[in-house]
Amino acid sequence: MPRGQRLLIPNVCYHIIQRGNQKQNIFLEDADFRKYLQILLHYKRKYSFKLYAYCLMPNHIHLIVEVKKVNDLAKIMQGVSLTYTLWFNKKYEKVGHLWQGRFKNMIIQKDRYLIDCLNYIEYNPLRAHLTSSPVDYMWSSWKYRTLNIKSNLLDRVPNF
């Protein structure tokens, strides 16, 4: 059965989720998280997309992005995913798929739901019992967004 075509609309945000294959961990140590963020920054500069939030969990990632061209979404995620997979497999002497199928993307209107989604993503480590406070979780945008700490990766959330 062929997979369905993605619903892509201009001038909206997308909540992107991508899981490790068979729910395996895709980040095994701090250097892995850092490398993923470095790759994400590379593709952010290449495609000039907006990144409003992120949270890297041990076995999956969440991003909220806004792209200039709707067709760039697949190019960005393919580039980030492939680059990270090649790096990860070389580092850990593995072969094969790292990710569980295609990334998922949900459309987010720039309204109150965007704020709710930001909070959902950034509080994910608390729900997973990885930390007791969002400020302590290093692999989330919470502290940059909430405490207004400068970040090359994160963009300011648009006013609505």
pLDDT tens profile 6-25: 667 767 899 999 999 999 99
Q: Which domains does the chain have, with CATH numbers?
A: 13-146 (3.30.70.1290)
- Percent pLDDT > 70 in the chain is 94
Assigned token pair, 1? 């059965």
Q: At what angle do helices 30-47 and 72-91 cross, to 10 degrees?
A: 150
Residue 125's Cβ-count burial label (10 Å; 0-12, 13-18, 19+) is buried
pLDDT tens profile 88-134: 999 999 999 999 988 999 999 878 889 999 999 999 999 999 999 99
The predicted structure's pLDDT at residue 78: 96
The CA-CA-CA angle for residues 76, 89, 31, to 5°, reads: 75
The predicted structure's pLDDT at residue 160: 63
